[in-house]
Amino acid sequence: MKDTITAVLFDMDGLVLDTEKLYTRFWQEAACACGYPMTKEQALGMRSLNRGAGLSKMQSYFGPDVDYDFIRQKRIELMDAFVEKEGVTLKPGIHELLAFLKERGIKTAIATSSPMERTVLYLTSVGLQNSFDELVSGYMVERGKPEPDIYLYAAEKLGVKPEECMVLEDSPAGILAAHRAGCMPVMIPDQDETDEETRKLLHAKADSLAAVIALLNE
């Protein structure tokens, strides 16, 4: 594998940053504040979805009249207020993996559903703003995850073929996007275990970011 992988593409929330738990928490709090008692399992189902997919998912929970955009804006406000006060933290192993990739000359990119402004803000707050060759946001492509656009664009920006890219993800929507792009999807579970449908799409599953080094050495 080490001879066929020329780039590693990283999701951000729940993968590089320990922020996915915040999305889960504040999706629930925002929905509850708007009169919709969202469960943790339902909130986990909202991970990494583009607007269309997120709307469909929320309608499947609460019916066609649910105001997805209002709840989403409430979630953003609650989470932004929390992060401004408490900050964000890194997932274990990111520094070791990035050092290994740099030593091997393997290109890197962040490919996140988050807006670019928030991506830069979060990465800067943990000192990683200059640690990746490219930063790509779902707002830079026509269709967000689970569609393949963001990973195809990240590969293009790095000047590599999608099939030469390993994608590290923690969400089913992200894994599906990577699979559709023709990349090599690797799941690093965050808040729950991999479901059966997602497992079928995986090249591998790793327990941590540091464990990816062993995969690349195979």
Q: State the span(s) of the chain assigned CATH 1.10.150.
A: 20-86
| Distance from the Cα of residue 56 to its chain's centroid | 19
How far apart CA 153 and CA 159 sit, in angstroms, is: 10
Rounded to an integer, the average pLDDT of 38-58 is 92
How high is the pLDDT of residue 113?
92
140: which 2 tokens?
């830079």
Nearest to 60 by CA among 80, 38, 77, 75: 38
| The CATH classification of domain 20-86, taken from the options 1.10.3470, 1.10.150, 1.20.272, 3.30.420 | 1.10.150
- Give 109-162 pLDDT, tens digit per residue: 999 999 999 999 999 999 999 999 999 999 999 999 999 999 999 999 999 999
How far apart CA 20 and CA 129 sit, in angstroms, is: 19
How high is the pLDDT of residue 212?
97
Q: What is the pTM of this model?
A: 0.89
Q: State the span(s) of the chain assigned CATH 3.40.50.1000.
A: 7-18+88-216
pLDDT of residue 46 exceeding 90, the answer is yes
- Taking the CB of residue 112, how many other CB atoms lie within 10 A of it? 29
Which residues have CB under 8 Å from 175's CB, separation 6+?
167, 169, 185, 187, 198, 201, 202
pLDDT of residue 1 exceeding 70, the answer is no
- Give 76-98 pLDDT, tens digit per residue: 999 999 999 999 999 999 999 99
Confidence of residue 26 (pLDDT cuts 50, 70, 90): very high
How high is the pLDDT of residue 192?
77
Confidence of residue 195 (pLDDT cuts 50, 70, 90): confident
Task: Clarify whether 149 is annotated catalytic.
Answer: no
pLDDT of residue 55 exceeding 70, the answer is yes
Maximum C-alpha span of the chain? 53
How far apart CA 118 and CA 136 sit, in angstroms, is: 12
Helix (H, G, I), strand (E, B) or coil at 182: coil
pLDDT of residue 2 exceeding 60, the answer is no
pLDDT: which is higher, 51 or 116? 116
Architecture of domain 7-18+88-216: 3-Layer(aba) Sandwich (3.40)
Helix (H, G, I), strand (E, B) or coil at 203: coil
Whether the Cβ atoms of residue 177 and residue 150 lie closer than 8 Å to each other: yes
How far apart CA 163 and CA 161 sit, in angstroms, is: 5
Residue whose tokens read 């192993």? 93
- In percent, how much of the chain has pLDDT > 90? 91
- In the set 3, 11, 170, 192, the catalytic residue is 11
